[in-house]
Amino acid sequence: MIAIEGLDEAVIGTGLRTTGKEVLVYDANKAQEIIDGYIGEGMDVAEYLFEIGIDALGDQAPVFVYLDENAEDELRRARRESYGALH
């Protein structure tokens, strides 16, 4: 698995890509705090990942997750409104 130097504190686990590759999973909010601390504010996680060339890693690239405590409620609401969900 590929790790991004300096972001160890943001690792929350591993995940599987659709290709079956296991990759590291990072808390995007924690990663943003770390990036702000050593680069300075003004560059978001997506910009930082672009700058370090993460796109070149393809399906070996780590995943960044925005933890959202409201996601479950939003999904329930969407189902009630007949938008459905992917099965």
Give the 3-state DSSP-derived string for 5-56, with helices as H, strands as E and coil as C. Answer: CCCHHHEEEEEECCCCCEEEEEEHHHHHHHHHHHHCCCCCHHHHHHHCCHHH
Residues listed for the chain: 87
CA distances from 59 to 63, 75, 82 (A): 10, 27, 33
Residue 25 within a domain: yes
Residue 3 within a domain: no
What is the C-alpha to C-alpha distance for residues 39 and 1, in angstroms, rounded to an integer? 25
Confidence at residue 82, expressed as pLDDT on a 0 to 100 scale: 63
The domain in which residue 16 lies consists of 8-80
Confidence of residue 75 (pLDDT cuts 50, 70, 90): confident
Confidence of residue 85 (pLDDT cuts 50, 70, 90): low
Residue 86 within a domain: no
The pTM of the full predicted model, rounded to 2 decimals, is 0.79
Domains held by the chain: number = 1
